[in-house]
Amino acid sequence: METLELALTEFSRRSGSVLVSHRATRLARGLEPGERVLVDDAGEVRTAVVADLDFDLDDTRYRLVLGPVVLPAGVAPERLSALYDAVLGATPQVVPLSAARRGTHAVR
């Protein structure tokens, strides 16, 4: 799961979404619609999902919908792994494989 370091504005926190330029991130690859990410806002970490994207020749922009879960920065990856285990019964790496065996699609 990718982590984006962003400085969320008060408006973004209230509205629950933020527009992010790919060039302003340290991502090695592009994000996909529906992909889940972590947003680190000065140590406050929350989940987000890529709701939409737009691109031109110079940049790609992502609309992230911020999740309600807010976790301390050092706890987030471990807590999210535990959440996957509790809800889905598998780690994130195993879920797509088991969904492929059933002929269904995993939610990422």
pLDDT digits (tens, 9 = 90+) for 16-63: 999 999 999 989 999 999 999 989 888 888 889 999 999 999 999 999
Half-sphere exposure of 21 (CA within 13 A, CB side): 7
pLDDT at 63: 97
Integer Cα distance of 95 and 106 in angstroms:
6
- The distance of Cα 99 from the centroid of its chain, to the nearest Å, equals 20
What's the number of domains the chain is made of? 1
Q: Is residue 54 part of a domain?
A: yes
Q: Is residue 14 part of a domain?
A: yes
Which residue is associated with the tokens 């992010």? 20
Q: Is residue 90 part of a domain?
A: yes
Q: How confident is the model at residue 1 (pLDDT cuts 50, 70, 90)?
A: confident
Q: Which domain holds residue 63?
A: 3-102
Q: Is residue 107 part of a domain?
A: no
Is it the case that residue 12 has pLDDT exceeding 60?
yes
Helix (H, G, I), strand (E, B), or coil: what is residue 25?
Answer: coil
